[in-house]
Structure 1
């Protein structure tokens, strides 16, 4: 008798749909959207009041030349991220094939923006006292990006769901 030398390919589990870990990703996306909208509302309300002039007017106790660019950078990035998130949510529910790349880009750009903001704010002595040690944020953001990138690169559910 001859033994069969045929190789067996393992079958990919045919899981698809917006279930599984994609439920968690939806929660993360909506949480980020709500958090960004809230931060925009807080920023807009601050731009017109005394706190803003207290931070950006020369001669003020709290004045530092980096406050204005740091706050405008944060505001502009938040607006951009809200628009990007809305596009991601539309493409997420449309199950577009390019969504995994958009998700990876969104989280990597968010990490990069966070680093830039921390570098800007680190130049302001008062902000350093208020923010304290942000090492936990850096580590958490790197881990979050790593998890999202690996999930969207390797998940069978992602490969089977985002096909249009």
Structure 2
């Protein structure tokens, strides 16, 4: 490591290695492009199925009908958060903003929490409607592994460090080269 800190990943100076949105960085980009569409579909499903919930409960007057709507509202809220956060991260990535890596780490940390929350909300609705569970618990370690892998990637990748460095610093260095 140099004294100037040029080997640090959070340094504004370029590191040896790949630059640009390519390689493994394409996968998180696809994630923030596709995730809003999937979340919008989920929101649409909840809104269109809102009145159909009574048919599943069978007109039960024990409060299950109203109680089943609360987890659905929470699920809709998590989907709205996903759409907003993914859209913001997509804008930052396409601008190649130096804030993009930090926001992508936040995005995957939120995805980790919301993934667990959505799993248990879905299980709660199934229990209230007395349906057989359609999701197994093996999904939880899968969600955790994916999110943690991408968090580490955005913290340690040279491609990320080179692609999303400070524009002002890059322009200054370019000016020094040609002056």
TM-score category (smaller protein): 0.7 to 0.9
Question: How has the CA–CA distance of structure 1 residues 55 and 101 changed in structure 2, closer, same or farther, with 3 Å as cutoff?
Answer: farther
1:3 corresponds to which residue?
none
1:138 corresponds to which residue?
140
Tell me, yes or no, if the aligned pair for 2:15 and 2:162 is still in contact at 8 Å.
no
Deviations 1:37-83 (A, max 9, x none): 21112112112x3x133357972599355411110001111112111
Question: How has the CA–CA distance of structure 1 residues 41 and 60 changed in structure 2, closer, same or farther, with 3 Å as cutoff?
Answer: same
Gap regions ≥5 residues in structure 2 = 1-5, 8-13, 167-179
Map 1:82-101 to 2 at 5 A: 82-101=83-102
Using the size of structure 2 for normalisation, the TM-score is 0.73
RMSD of the alignment, in Å?
2.8
**Corresponding residue pairs, total:** 153
Tell me, yes or no, if the aligned pair for 2:72 and 2:121 is still in contact at 8 Å.
no
Output the CA distance in 1 between the equivalents of 2:152 and 2:45: 34
Give the SS at the match of 1:23.
helix
Map 1:83-162 to 2 at 5 A: 83-124=84-125, 125=127, 126=129, 129-133=132-136, 135-162=137-164
Deviations 1:14-42 (A, max 9, x none): 32111111112212222212211211121
Using the size of structure 1 for normalisation, the TM-score is 0.79
Which structure has more relative contact order (CA 8 Å, sep 6+)? It is 2
